[in-house]
């Protein structure tokens, strides 16, 4: 029987059992190695350079793009590696829009969390990029180029999982950016508004639009009527709500109408005798389809937006 393949990580032997790359072996050993650009369901990209490790005889390499070799001796948190990760974070923060208190991903931002964990309390580098406008053209998503860390997660998710390719890298060197095709806005390309790019974005460069404020306005409108009229007005206006905020919306709706949003949607559908536009998304957000993957309703969203 052949001997078990093992690698030595920080002085401890760890078996290799078919892992695709060294990063998976390291995490299997319960070693927390930070990353921006690695997702197990996507191809390895190796852009963020946070998963660097020091391998005896090879030097410093990215663990996400390296196949584990039996007998390798690896160190993950040497002083040199920690300083390199800190510098990478400082460079990212130097050109990052620093409106953290009002950012929609404040306290849920991976860049913010890693900077805190690694003790980045000051930024030694000057800003080199001019502020760029926020793309608000899509009825489903907000794209803020000033918060992009060029991890490529959205690019690979859109192309490899969704099969759309509505967003990609453009230009070279210091000018590289992640943008829709030909520098257009999101509403001018083949984006179906599925929101998968926003789910993998580690910052708020891509977030799902929140229309909770508009929904509150509809609920406060005395001329809007009661369910199903209220929900019809919400849906006809094309309003959407981010699933993380839907509990707040549900509480407000019940308080104002005495019924849940899901109940009102069903009543409205019964009244008109057909499914209401984006009603499926509303029900999904309220938990009736919570076990489904978000990509399952991408076609419905595309149909709701009038795209094929």
222 shares a domain with 292: yes
Among residues 223, 205, 236, the alpha carbon closest in space to that of 304 is found at 236
Supply the CATH number for residue 69's domain.
3.10.20.740
Which tops the pLDDT comparison, 217 or 14?
Answer: 14
234 shares a domain with 219: yes
CA distance 165 to 158: 5
In a domain, residue 33? The reply is yes
pLDDT band at 277 (very low <50, low <70, confident <90, very high): very low
Q: Give the torsion sign (CA, 34, 39, 44, 45).
A: negative
Among residues 108, 295, 291, the alpha carbon closest in space to that of 195 is found at 295
The per-residue pLDDT of the chain, averaged, comes to 79
CA distance 106 to 131: 20
Structure tokens at 119: 């003790």
91 shares a domain with 73: no
Structure tokens at 233: 């007005």
Judge whether residue 110 has pLDDT over 70.
yes
pLDDT for residue 152: 92
Distances (CA, A) of 121 to 48, 64, 124: 20, 27, 10
In a domain, residue 135? The reply is no
Q: Average pLDDT of 140-157?
A: 92
pLDDT for residue 194: 83
Structure tokens at 9: 């990580």
Within 10 angstroms of residue 113's Cβ, the number of other Cβ atoms is 13
87 shares a domain with 60: no
pLDDT band at 126 (very low <50, low <70, confident <90, very high): confident
pLDDT band at 54 (very low <50, low <70, confident <90, very high): very high
pLDDT for residue 285: 43
Helix (H) or strand (E) holding 55: strand 52-55
Provide the residue range defining the domain that includes 242.
212-304
pLDDT for residue 303: 47
Among residues 90, 89, 87, the alpha carbon closest in space to that of 123 is found at 90
In a domain, residue 272? The reply is yes
Q: Considering the entire predicted model, what is its pTM?
A: 0.73
pLDDT for residue 267: 65
Supply the CATH number for residue 204's domain.
3.30.70.20
pLDDT band at 255 (very low <50, low <70, confident <90, very high): low
218 shares a domain with 294: yes
19 shares a domain with 94: no
Distances (CA, A) of 10 to 27, 119, 184, 264: 13, 22, 48, 58
pLDDT band at 243 (very low <50, low <70, confident <90, very high): very low
Show which of 208, 233, 256 is a domain's final residue.
208
278, 299 Cβ separation under 8 angstroms: no
Mode of pairing for the β-strands spanning 6-9 and 12-15: antiparallel
pLDDT band at 114 (very low <50, low <70, confident <90, very high): very high
What count of residues does the chain have? 308
In the numeric block, the tokens 């950016």 are attached to 177
In a domain, residue 136? The reply is no
List CB contacts of 24: < 8 A, sequence separation 6 or more: 40
In a domain, residue 277? The reply is yes
Helix (H) or strand (E) holding 9: strand 6-9
In a domain, residue 1? The reply is no
162 shares a domain with 111: no
225 shares a domain with 253: yes
pLDDT for residue 168: 94
Burial of 222 by CB count in 10 Å (0-12 exposed, 13-18 middle, 19+ buried)? exposed
Q: State the total domains in the chain.
A: 4
């Amino acid at each position: 029987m052949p001997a078990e393949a093992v690698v030595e990580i920080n002085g401890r032997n760890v078996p290799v059992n078919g892992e695709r790359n060294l990063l998976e072996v390291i995490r299997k050993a319960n070693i927390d190695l930070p990353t921006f650009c690695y997702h197990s369901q996507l191809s390895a990209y190796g852009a963020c350079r946070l998963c660097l490790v020091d391998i005896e005889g090879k030097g410093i390499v990215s663990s996400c793009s390296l196949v584990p070799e039996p007998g390798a001796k690896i160190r993950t948190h040497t002083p040199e590696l920690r300083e390199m990760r800190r510098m990478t974070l400082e460079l990212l923060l130097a050109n990052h829009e620093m409106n953290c208190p009002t950012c929609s991903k404040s306290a849920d931002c991976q860049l913010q969390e890693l900077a805190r964990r690694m003790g980045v309390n000051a930024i030694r580098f000057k800003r080199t990029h001019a502020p760029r406008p926020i793309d608000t053209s899509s009825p489903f998503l907000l794209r803020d180029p000033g918060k992009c860390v060029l991890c490529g997660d959205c690019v690979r998710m859109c192309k490899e999982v969704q099969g759309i390719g509505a967003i990609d890298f453009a230009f070279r060197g210091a000018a590289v950016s992640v943008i829709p095709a030909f520098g257009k806005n999101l509403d001018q390309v083949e984006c179906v508004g599925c929101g998968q790019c926003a789910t993998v974005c580690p910052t708020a460069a891509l977030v799902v639009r929140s229309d909770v404020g508009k929904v509150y306005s509809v609920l406060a409108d005395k001329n809007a009527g009661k369910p199903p009229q209220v929900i019809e007005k919400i849906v006809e206006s094309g309003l959407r709500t981010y699933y993380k905020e839907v509990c707040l919306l549900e509480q407000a709706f019940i308080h104002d109408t005495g019924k849940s949003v899901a109940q009102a949607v069903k009543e409205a559908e019964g009244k008109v005798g057909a499914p209401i536009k984006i009603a499926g998304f509303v029900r999904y957000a309220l938990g009736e389809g919570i076990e489904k993957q978000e990509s399952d309703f991408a076609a419905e969203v595309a149909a709701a937006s009038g795209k094929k």
